[in-house]
Structures are given as C-alpha cells and as structure tokens.
Structure 1
Amino acid sequence: MSDKQPPILPAYRGYLSPAQNSALGFAPQTPNPNPPSDNVPALVTDYLLKKGYRRTEEIFRQEVKDIDENGKPRENGDGVAPGKSFPAGKYLAAFKHFDVWVQGGLEVYKFELAKFLWPLFIYSYLRLIKQGSSAHAEEFMKELRGRFEKSHPDEVKTLATITLPQHVREDTLAKAYLENQYSVPLSKSLAATLFSFLERDFDQGGGLIIDLINQHIHVESVDRGPIEPFSFEAIYRRSRQQELDEVDIQEGIPGLSAHSGLMNRTLLDEKASLKLGPLPMEPELRDDVVAELEEEDKLNPPRDGFPTLVDEFNTMNPVKKESVDTPQRSEIPYPPSRARDVVMEMQKTRENRDRFKVEPRNGAQGAGITVHMWTFHNHLGAISCMDFSKDQNYVAVGTTDSYIRVWSVDGRALKSLLPTDTTNTNNRKLIGHSGPVYSIAFSDAITNLDRDIYEGMPNPDSKPDTRPSLLLSCSFDGQVRLWSLDVWSCLCIYKGHDGPVYSLSWSPHGHYFVTGGWDKTVRVWGQDHSSALRLLVGHDTAISKVAWHPNGSYVFSASDEIDKSIRMWAVANGECVRIFNGHVEFISALECAPNGKILASADIAGNIMIWDLEKGTRIKRCRGHGRGGIWSLSFCVESTVLASAGQDCTVRLWDVEMPPEGRAVNQQDGDNINAAGQGDGKQAGQTQSASAAGTGKKKGKEVMITPDQISAFPTKKTSVKKVQFTRMNLVLAGGCYQPETQDAGR
C-alpha cells in the first residue's frame, strides 16, 4: 500500500485540536463545540489504519501521545506546568543531530564539544519526565544510555529509576542538576562556532539545544586555544610548566565530578561509614603468636625501657569487640594461617618495637630519617619500574625490553630449588612478557628468626622460610604474570584486561592483588583463580595507579589524562565509596597511610595531595618537586612523615600533620633545600646516604616549596623511581643514573 497523504476529511477536521490538525497537515479550523466523541485521536488512528496509511498513523500517534485535548503538552501528574513547550519527540532527534555534528567535526574540537553531550542527555531526560512525557523519556533513555554507562554508570542507573514527575522533585541526583547550572569551559573561538551551528540548524534541534543551554548549562568562555590531551594548547602549557585553568577544575555541578558521575556528598549520605580500622587477626594465629612471643621474652628479655614482645604485640593488635570501624574477617575470605605466618608476625612485632621512632616536628628541625639510595648504571634508559622486597634482601626492575631482572642486595648468589639449576650469580633474568613491563611487586617478606621455633621436628629444614617467594608483573601485552622466586620461572598468567596493564599491587595480607589498565577497569584477583574476582568500572579513562588500604578491605585507583580522579572501592561488594577530585595532571603515584585514615597522591606536575578518607576531602597540597613526575610515595610507620621520589633527582620528606601554607623560593638544581627554603644541605640530625649533590653551576628555577617539606635529598644525576619506608623507618630509594639529566643544562 502506498504511503500517500490521506484526503481531507470534513467529518473529522472539527474533532481535532489546532496542534493535531497541524500534525496532519490540515489548515487551522475552529473546533466543533459538540464533538461526537472525546477519544478523537483513537478515531483518527482507526481511520488511518483502515485506509492503510500505516506510516502516517505511526507518526500521528507519536505526535499526539503527549498532547492533551486542547493541543497543549500535558501537565505532569502533580499539576505542575512543564518547562519549554517543545514536542516531546524532538528531544531524541535534536540530541542525535548535535552528536553527529560533534563527531563529524575536526579532531581538535571534539574533546571540548563532547563535554556538552552528558548535560544535554541528563537535562533532556529530566525535562521529559517532568512534563509527563514518559513514553518519549523511556525511548530517549533506551536509545542513548549505552553511550554513558561506562563514564557515568551510577548516574545512568539512578536516572533510569526516575520515571514520574514526583521522582524529579524527590531524587537527590535530579535536584542537584536542576537546582544548579552545569558548568562547561569552552574556548572563545569554539563558542562562536557552536552557537553559529545551533542557530543555523534551529529547526533541526538547534533551538531546543539553545533553550537547554540557556536554562541549565553555564558556558564558561575561556581565552585559549582548543584543549585536548595532545593539542597545541596542552603541549604549550606543559612546555611552559603551566597548570590547566581553574575553570577546568570547576567543570560540572558543584560537588559533582564532570566525569565521575558520583558526589561524595551523596556517598556520605547514602553509604554506610567506612571501616578504616585494622583487620582483626585470626584467633588461632593470635594464640600461636602470643605463645611463641612469651617463650621469646623468656629467652631474650627486653632492654630497660622497652616493652616485652607480648605487650608490644597486644598494642599492635588489640582485642576489640565488634566495632563499626573494624572490618570483619568473614567479609573477605583468606587462606588459613601457616607456620610461616606465625614467624612473620613475631618478627613484625620485634621490628615495630625496635624501630626508629619518628618524632613530631620540633621547630625548624625535622625527623632524623636516613635515606639509603641505590643507583642503577648502564641501563640505557630501559628501566620502567622498580621494587624492593620488604625484607630488604632483593631489588627488582622491569624494563621496556619486556624482561625483569632481580638482584640480591647483599651480592649473594640467588639459589634455585631445582636440583638441575646450578647457576651461581647474584641476579636472575625473568623472560616471558612480550611488551614493556609497567609495574612489579614482591610478595610480603621479613627477616627470619635467629632460631627455629619448630626445632625437634623430623625434617631438619622445618624452619619456615620468610623470604619473598613470589613476584607479580604486568605489561603492555595485557598480561599479569606470577613468578616463583624459588625456581625462577612463571607460575601463572592472568588474562582479562583488554589492552595494556599499567599498575598492580599486592593485598597487605597476601593472596589477593589488584590491577588497573588501559581498558578503564580495576580488577581484584585471587592468587588461586585465573579470572578476576571483582571488576570495578567507573573511570572515564585508563587507570594509571592502584593501591590497597592497610586493612585490605578497600582499593584505590587513579585515572589518567581526561578523568584525573581517584576512586576508593569496597572489595567486598565492588561499590565505589569515595571519589577524590583535584589533580589537573597525570596521577603518577598513590599510597595509603598505615593508620588507614589518609591517602597521598602525586602527579607529574610535582603536586602531592593529602586526602581525608572518611570525609572525602582534600587536606592539603604539598609542593617542592620540579616537574617531570613524582613516581613513588611511602609513609613512615607512624603515618606522620611522607617520602616522595621524583624525576627531578630528589627524595623529599614531608610533614603530614603540618597545616597547608606556601611561599616561593629560588631553588637551584642540585641543592638540598629544607622546609625553610635554605640550600644548606641536610638538616641537623639527618643522614644522607644518596649520592653527593652536584657542584656545577646551574641556572636557578623558581619552584613553590611549601613549609611542610622537612628536607630534600638530591642525587647528582639519578632520577628516583622508587622510595619505600621499611618497618624500621629506614627509607630505601632507587633510581637510574642519567648523565644527560645534568649535562643538558650546562
């Protein structure tokens, strides 16, 4: 049947409203004051179907389903008049028309223009619901939700539950958007292009989008070139060591990230409080450790002024009744304890008692912390990552040449348990990856006891081995590999990430580990499972760093490039419980304090942010490193001092508890600058084990140094890749010797 226009029907023309007449192409007529039926649209659709005008009937039905008997948009169920009177069916078409224009434009403009898509989506949907156009709202959500489910998963889920006008008034998310304007920074030159297009295509949806922008979106005009990760403007700013405009940080709704789709305010209101206390020890393990420590105290009584090992253990692991601040062991299952765990807990107690105590800052004097620096030569720029074992016996590096090399720190030969392996060397090479290695991590370890607490056993080798036995690595090839340090070979390959895997970390209690990669996902794995146990999705861009909370109940992830947010995830249920925004550069390091209350993050601009986990807010920003990247962070046992390792060839110590302040000083490359901004070498009471500072004359560069910097330990020509506080509060640092770092400035 041909889809020709129906003839004019005088008998029905009087039954239609002016809007309905217009929808059918009829000339405006005065309505019949006595229509034969109140269900006029049904009569028309029946006639059209009877005559075979199916396509016309479908269009007519779409046009009139949200129009009342007077030809006006229906009021919502609460009698509240709707917003702008645009046909409900036009919202989807307008969005698609605008999206096609954005995607078909120049690459340099896409990044900024695409920022309008999310607010247009959410405001269009809320307006449709608010005016009672539920059928069109459902179609709008069904067609477009897939575009935003990865970048705004929580908001899309919430929006899908808003189906009635009263929901719009009651829902927290809807109120946050409707009571505030969504801020979008836009280059001045691009703003003219945008509104020129909207005015030109006014009838194709431009008018509707202009109305949405006028009512709900604040366009912040910025005098700059187009912004995107590799645009001329971005490259120019990096070369001039400039940060992004403040307006970029304010993008979105106040208190709501433009990219994350989560509000800390909402999380704090709706989620249960965080459980940041230590994980209770397994009762059987606790009893075994206490019994052995009592025997140890009898054999080796403590020195005067020192507590017994049993007292120290009870202080470290107090017996608490069920508390809201303490996670339960049943939430995350762990393998049963072994004899090795008893020995390790005993040694951890001993080291905690005998450690160097980091005292609070006293005037101009900082903590007298020793830094021991390891420098790698002849690497030809191939070292991409580094890690020290927690017993300080091993150091390993990953390379861009796809292999891993492990050394013994004391120079002793690395033995193998394989009888056929008679290699007698102090280093081993692990080969298996097919791309650059981005991150490596040793399993937990500690120096063994001097005596065998299990002596008398039939097996003469019954003394538990507390060396690190496993090494994890991840690579550009998308694989995560588990290596045995007993037989020096790969035990298992974990596959699941789509693309490169950039970061990984062991759980504080072993068995589990977390990874983050290019596919924007964070995955939690069990050592004995080939597939991930948790898939954490929410970041807009690739994951640059991951870290664990000390109690093993939470993981942290940082996203690079556009997103630049940090998320805190609950391992037990996979929910995002906190989100931290503030970085405007690539986030290069993450570390949670041993007390479990604060988080430190660093970026390639030399900024260190300290965050309050419970409140979800930033405490302060520490500055002192030059640009180029802060590649590693580590807290002391007391959580009062933070060590950082930088591309600027320094290791720096920071007072975590000092309030945020700052002033600029003229920092000379190679000088050791303390918190007062004086280049007078290390502070009183401190030991510097790093290479001596350079003596050549360098051109000074003004760098903001905040007073909470305790001291800086410069190397001569070694960029520092890794810094790590030991359980005895000694700082280990490692880096790569790069002559060109200093020679280039001469």
Structure 2
Amino acid sequence: MAQNPPQTSVPPGNGAAQPRPASRPQQQYSQADLNRIVMEYLNKKGFHKTEAMFRLESSNSPTPAVPAVSTATTPMAGPTEILRPRDGMLPRPDADRPREYIQSLQPPRQIREDEERAKIENDPEVYYRAYSTLRSWVYSSLDLYKPELFRVLYPLFVHCYLELVSKGFVAQAKTFFDKFLSDHLALHGVEISQLAGISLPGHIRENKLAQAYRSKEYRISVSKTSMYLLLHFLLENEAVGGSVLIGIINQYLKPVISTRTERVVREGEADPNEGLTGFVANTTEIDKFNEQSVLLGKLPLEPEIEKEVQAELKVKDENTEPVNGKTLVEEFEELNAPDKDSPSADSIPLPMKDASDIKRMILAVEDSRLKVKLGAIQASAPSVCMYTFHNTNANLTSLEFNSDSNLVAGGFQDSYVKLWSLDGRPLRALSKKDPHNNSDSRKLVGHSGPVYGMSFSPDNRYLISASEDKTARLWSLDTYSALVSYKGHNQPIWDVKFSPMGHYFATASHDQTARLWATDHIYPLRIFAGHINDVDCVDFHPNSNYVFTGLSDKTCRMWDVQTGNAVRIFMGHTGPVNCLAVSPDGRWLASAGEDSVVNVWDVGSGRKLKSMRGHGKSSIYSLAFSKDGSVLVSGGADNTVRVWDVKRNTQDAGPLPEAFSGDASRDGMGGGADGAKKPTEKANRKEIIATPDHMTAYFTKKIPVYKVHFSRRNLCLAGGALNP
C-alpha cells in the first residue's frame, strides 16, 4: 500500500512559503455561551441600554440545541475527523478555553452582579429614586394605561418600604413612607395604618400584614401592553434603580394578564381578585375609607337673620291668603327645619347678610310654595323648555342658566362669554350712557382661550367663568365688566361652580387638582390634590361644607372644605365623569359621563344605589335634580332630555307609577321638544333599552343638550346648539 511521504515543516521567517492548512481548527460554542460573550462585551464597553435590550430579546427566543460531536460512520461520509492544527501552526492558547479567556478580560459576571447587588443594598437612595422615577412616569402616561399602571405602584410602595426597614435604613424608610403614602390612602388606608407602625426590622416579623407581603404573592390584573410598557421602562432606567423594582416584581408580584373585555367590565371598580392571596379585596378598603364622619344636614341660619325673615313673612301672610293650605311662615319653617347632622352655622365663614340677601330668601320661600309637586305620591315628568342656539359655527362650548331663570350665559371657543335675556327685557347697565342698554344680549370679553365653564352667583349679581387660559374671571352683571382674574392653576380649567351660599367658588382643572376660592382673595384657599387624572367637573354640597369632583379616572370624590381632605370616594363608572348633581337634601349624588350611565350614590355611606341607562352609547353632558329631589333630568349627545325616577328601586321608593303612554314609553322612545313624531321617523330611530326608572325622553332636532336646569318652581330648562 502506498504511503504519503511525510511533509517537512519549514521554520517561519526563512522566506519559504508556508503551506496552507487543509482546515482551521473549529470550536463548538453553545448559544448560551455566545449570548453571554456578547453581553459581557457590551457591558465592558458601557453599552448598558443595548445590553438590556439584547438580554430581553435573547430571553424571549428559544436556545437552539448544540449539535453533538459524533464519530459514527454514516452512509454518506466516513468517520468524523477531529481536526487538529497542522505542524507549524500554533493554536491560540484560548481556543479550547473560551470561559477562561473571557474571565481573563474582566471579572466573572456573577462576581460583578454580586458586587452591584451589594452596592445597591447599601444605598437606600436607590429605592427612593427608583420609585419616584416610576411614579412620575405613571402619572405622565396615557390615560388608556394609567389606571392599570397606577395599581402596580401600591405593592411596589409597600415592598420598597419593607426592604428599607429590613436593611436597617429606618430614617430613610420613614421619609419614603411619609412622602408617598398619600397616593394610596383612599384605596388602602387600613393597610397603610397597619404598616405605619413598622420602624425596626424586628417589627416586620411581628406584623402579620408585613409577613403576608413578604411570604405571599400580590395579584395584579393588567393588560399585556401595560406590562410590556412597565418592564421596558424599568429596563431603560436600570441605572437609577429599575433593577430593584424588577426584582420586587419578579419575587413578590403575580401579574394576571387580562383581556380588553374583562378590563372594560371591571374598570372603575375594585377587582376582588387583586391583592394578597387570602386577604380582603380593595372594596373593603373603600368602605373603610367611606366610614369617615360627615355632616350632611342643612346649614342653619343665623338667629338674627332667621327672626328678621320670619317677621317679613308674617307681614306678607297678613295681606295674602294661604296657598295649598300653607302660609309663608310655615313654608319657611319647613324649609329650614333643623337636622340632626347639620353643621354649625359658623362652620363656613360667610360675609354679613344685607337687605338684598333677606329679599332673596323671601323670594325663595314664595317660589317654593308655588312650585309644581313632582313627587307627592309618585314621580311625574316635568315640563321642559328647550332653548336652541343658532349660528354658533360649532363654537359654543358651555351653557349656564341663572337661579331666576331669566338669564342664560354661553361660553365660546372665541374666548368670550355671551349673555342673553330669557324674558325679553333689555340687559341694562348701571351707567345710563352705556350704548348697549337697549340690547337683550351682552358680550363679555377678557379671556384669552376658550371658555369651558360658567356659574352664576346665588344673588345673580355676578358670573364666574373658567377658561383654557388657566384663569377664572369674575364678572359684574351690574356693569357687565370683569372685576377679578384668579390665577393659580397650571393647566386649563374645565369647570367652575359657585357655592350655594355665595362668596366661595370651586374650580376643576387639567392639572389634576380642584381648588376652593373666595371672591375677595386672588389666591386659592384650599387645593384638593390627590387625583390621578383630570378633574373634569365640580359641584358643592347644599350646606357648602363639601365639594364633589368628577374625574377622568372614572371616579368621583368628596372633599371636606374645612380640612381639605377627601372623605368619600365613589367608584363604579367605566368612563370619564362629565357632570355631577347633588340632591336638594344633600343625601344623594348623581354622576354621569362618557359611559352613558347615570349612577346614583348614597353620600352618607359612599355606596352606589343604582345605575340608570337610557342614553344608548352617547355621552351625558348635564344633570339636574328637581327641587323636591324626586326627579332627575339628564341631557346628552343623543339629542334628548331624559327624565328619571330617582327613588324607584331604592328604600325611598313610593308606589309604582302607571305606565306612561304615547310619548313616554319605557323603551326611551318618547315625545320631544319638536312635537309629535311621525311613525316613519320613530321607526328610523335605533331602539334603546332603558332601565325601569326611565320615565320619558324629549327629543330635539339634531341638538345635543349641553345644559339642563330646574327653576325654583320646578320648570325644567334645557339648552343646546343646532348642529346642521
């Protein structure tokens, strides 16, 4: 058998050409080794963001199996030859030792991670910085994801606090706890009070709630998109402590990915599946929060004023006959009967009342005696007077009626307010030389942005307006000029409301705050902070001791004017809240918004009494209670004014009313402000299934209803702009 002659190796450098080897030695690397080498290279070069993204991508892709080296003979090839370097070819000293080679370049990865972890554990500021950064990001997130992301903050807040305490950073833990606890008092007040007493590492072992947080997983219902956004943000901010929060999420949280349908059903309500396994859901926390004592009775009159009004009414009774078997004095005593839970007369500082205030009280008593009784035995539908505004060019943004029902104000995109007289009388100014004294309308110019909200003072002498220019302006209806500009909000103001007692007013803004003002101060007296989204609407309780706010985060809140603290939270809407109305007796709150549902709440307990449906899928813009509180009227984008029996299906319900016929059927297809409907026109309407407490609907001619209002005699006024 012939043998190949042996090859002679030529020493390098002798000028002879070195023969090319048949093949270079190849080293088999696993995919994990390659990934590790790349990540360690990126880390060494300082490409931390690229390393984090590569780490995330590599963890999502399956690792291919490493082919095994085999010496078995196959039909297509002989035995696999283990290639060796040729003579004269010096192999790389690290060819067979990739791990040792990498380790020779830099410390092992595990060692570096341990060093970094130890460094983080010894730096208490990392927890504060990481949580504060995440909190700021959540508050600036899109409204679509903010409610879900906000719920993740609470368990992270608890675990950051417990981590600081367990590591002995007691002072830093106390600072962290006091800084951020106000964000979670409404939903988790009971738990926070239990955790507040923890100040030493030994307290964690003795506190059952703290032990539960350390030993059980905290369930969070969240969408896949929100979870990806959260993790991506934490990875991007790993250098400022994002890795700490990722570790907490990995160890203590159990995200439950929910579908969009489940979220829509659950939005605005506490999810019973969220929280620690085996512990009470957040609904109990809300109930505990809503147990705070409140005084919902009427604000009593000062004894001197009460005696003076009674004296004036007695004089009138001597010259007039009783109406419906009641004298004016009896009507006044009924209206001002003392309640058990009434606040004190001096709970809210008010200016001294003058003769005009007494005259207004007497007029209110006379109107109360003459008002239409809508709910004596069973609720009945009111009469509705609809005002249509033409040629607005889609610039009308808001409407408001005064308490005398003889004046209406409109706010426009063109930065002005316009007043119209409803009784045909000209709007005369005090100055006889005013050129507009014979006109039945007035234009008030002063804002530099669209006017989104307005409110008349109870004595109808002033108008307050709110605008995109971040200011509220007080206008005199005697001179039709601006008196004061109130500045303080950092973003546009969406709504403004005068107190029923006058002197005070409240504003709601895009800066996530509501503020209480007095007309004689240019700065806010109270800032109601703690909302996590826009404050869209605001209203006062009849006794002026409380302010209600409606939010884009689908909740309503009740604030104590004296302390500036929230005392009630109402959760149950599935869309932003556009409007609020408080019953005349102060016991019930009605709210409505983008979810097309009117919710009725018991203010005393904070619980929802019922939900009323009938507006289809259209937004609701305005709500108003009748003067006896038995009927609620709503107006919305479906071009209707709808009437609701508030007390039906509640403990105050009377006998069931007889079925309305013709224009007031329960399916929502009622008569309208434009007269009787033709059969074909009625057939073309989409049928709306209404709840049983829906009494009737008044349809308009393509006119969204911006505002509904009850006069003192229970006549309902409504207004809107024609959209051709």
Question: Do Structure 1 and Structure 2 share a fold, with TM-score over 0.5?
Answer: yes
Residue 450 of structure 2 corresponds to 436
> What letter matches 2:382 in structure 1?
I
Change (3 A) 1:302 1:477: same
The answer (yes or no) to whether the contact 1:94–1:206 under 8 Å persists in 2 is: no
Aligned to 1:184: 220
Task: Please give the residue correspondences for 1:548-697 in structure 2 after superposition, counting only pairs within 5 Å.
Answer: 548-560=540-552, 563-659=553-649, 674=664, 676-677=666-667, 679=669, 681-682=670-671, 689=673, 693=677, 696=681
TM-score (norm 1): 0.70
Please give the alpha-carbon distance, in whole angstroms, between the structure 1 residues aligned to 2:586 and 2:495. Answer: 21
Shift of 1:216: 4.6
Per the TM alignment, residue 307 of structure 1 is displaced from its structure 2 partner at its CA by 0.9
Whether 2:262 is the aligned partner of 1:221: answer no
Aligned to 2:347: 331
Give, in angstroms, the shift of residue 314 of structure 1.
Answer: 0.9
Letter in 2 for 1:139: Q
In the aligned structure 2, how far is the partner of 1:213 from the partner of 1:692? 62
The answer as to whether partners of 2:381 and 2:695 remain within 8 angstroms in 1 is: no
SS at match of 2:556: strand
State, as a whole percentage, how many aligned pairs show the same letter: 34
Structure 2: 5+ residue runs without aligned partners? Answer: 1-113, 651-660
The aligned counterpart of 1:139 is 172
Q: 1:177 to 1:573 in 2, by over 3 A?
A: farther
1:99-120 CA distances to partner (integer Å, 9 max, x unpaired)? Answer: 689969x988975884475135
For 1:521 and 1:201, the matched residues in 2 are separated by 29
The 1:337/1:175 distance shift into structure 2, 3 A limit, reads: farther
Q: Indicate if the aligned counterparts of 1:580 and 1:617 stay in contact, CA closer than 8 A.
A: yes
CA contact (8 A) 2:573 2:595 kept: no
- Look up the equivalent residue of 1:314 and give its one-letter code: E
Summarize deviations over 1:561-614 as a string: whole Å, max 9, x none.
xx2221101111111111111112111101111011110000122111111111
- CA distance in 2 between counterparts of 1:347 and 1:176 reads 62
Looking at structure 2, the residues matched to 719 and 121 of structure 1 have their Cα atoms a distance apart, in angstroms, of: 45
Q: Does 1:317 align with 2:309?
A: no
Deviations 1:123-153 (A, max 9, x none): 323432664x331x5435646976x577447
- In the TM superposition, what whole-angstrom CA distance separates every residue of 1:446-465 from its partner, at most 9, and x where no partner exists? xxxxxxxxxxxxxxxxxxxx
Q: Tell me if 1:281 matches 2:317.
A: no
Give distance in 2, aligned partners of 1:678 and 1:189: 39
1:45-68 Cα offsets, whole Å, 9 max, x none, are: xxxxxxxxxxxxxx99x969xxxx
Q: Is the 8 A contact 2:164 2:172 kept in 1?
A: no
Note if 1:717 corresponds to 2:707. no
Q: 2:156 is aligned with what amino acid? A: F
Cα distance, 1:293–1:167 mapped onto 2, change above 3 Å: farther
Confirm or deny: 8 A CA contact 1:693 1:714 kept in the other structure. Answer: no
Aligned residue for 2:172, secondary structure, equals helix
| 2:304 counterpart letter in structure 1 | E
Q: How does 1:183-582 map to 2 (within 5 A)?
A: 183-188=219-224, 191=227, 212-213=248-249, 216-224=252-260, 244-246=264-266, 249-250=269-270, 253=275, 256=282, 263-269=285-291, 271=292, 273-303=293-323, 305-319=324-338, 323=340, 325-359=341-375, 362=378, 366-423=379-436, 424-445=438-459, 468-560=460-552, 563-582=553-572
- Residues 394 and 409, structure 1, Cα contact 8 Å, conserved in 2: yes
State the distance in 1 between where 2:403 and 2:346 align: 27
Conserved? CA contact 2:155–2:218, under 8 Å: no
Q: Secondary structure at the match of 1:705?
A: coil
Query: What's the CA shift string for 1:409-456, capped at 9, x where partnerless?
Result: 0222110101321321110000000000000111114xxxxxxxxxxx
Q: Distance in 2 between matches of 1:568 and 1:550?
A: 13
Contact preservation (8 Å) 1:123, 1:216: no
Structure 1 counterpart SS, 2:704: strand
> Which consecutive unaligned segments of at least 5 residues does structure 1 have?
1-58, 65-85, 225-236, 446-467, 661-670, 683-687, 740-746
Task: Give the 3 Å change call, closer, same or farther, for CA 421–509 of structure 1 in structure 2.
Answer: same
CA distance in 1, matches of 2:577, 2:390: 27
CA distance in 1, matches of 2:688, 2:331: 43
Secondary structure of the corresponding residue to residue 316 of structure 2: helix
Residue matched to 1:128: 163
Aligned pairs (5 A) from 1:93-172? 96=130, 111=146, 114-115=149-150, 118-128=153-163, 131=166, 133-135=167-169, 138-139=171-172, 142=175, 148=180, 151-152=183-184, 162-164=198-200
CA spacing shift, 1:727–1:333, aligned 2, 3 Å: same
Per-residue deviation, 1:341: 1.4
Distance 2:135 2:527 in 1: 34
The Cα offsets for residues 321-353 of structure 1, whole Å up to 9 and x where unpaired, read as xx4x11012221111111111111111111111
Q: 2:547·2:560 contact (CA, 8 Å) conserved in 1?
A: yes
Aligned residues: 587
C-alpha distance in 1, partners of 2:229/2:563?
46
Distance 1:379 1:113, change over 3 A: closer
Are residues 99 and 537 of structure 1, via their aligned partners in 2, closer, same or farther at CA, if it must alter by over 3 Å?
closer
Contact 1:672 1:714 in 2 (8 A): no
Q: What residue is the counterpart of 1:460 in the other structure? A: none
Structure 1 residue 266, shift from structure 2 partner: 3.3
Give TM-score, length-normalised by structure 2: 0.72
Which residue number corresponds to residue 3 of structure 1? none
Deviation at 1:183, TM superposition (A): 4.4
Q: Which deviations, in whole Å up to 9, do the C-alpha atoms of 1:671-708 show, x marking residues without a partner?
A: 987453274x44xxxxx655655764775545441111
CA displacement at 1:648 relative to structure 2: 0.5
Structure 1 residue 164, shift from structure 2 partner: 3.8
| CA deviation map 1:166-220 (0-9, x unaligned) | 8769999979978996543333466578789999999998886566446653422
Alpha-carbon distance in 1 for matches of 2:258, 2:352: 59
Q: Which residue does 1:458 correspond to in 2?
A: none
| Match runs of 1:58-97 below 5 Å | 92=126, 96=130
Q: How far apart are residue 386 of structure 1 and its match?
A: 0.4
Match of 2:57 in 1: none
Residue matched to 2:31: none
Q: Are the structure 2 counterparts of residues 493 and 196 from structure 1 closer, same or farther at C-alpha, using a change threshold of 3 Å?
A: closer
Q: Pairwise CA RMSD of aligned residues?
A: 4.1
Q: Which has the larger radius of gyration?
A: 2
Q: Is the 8 A contact 1:97 1:204 kept in 2?
A: no
Distance (Å, rounded) in 2 between the aligned partners of 1:221 and 1:420 = 71
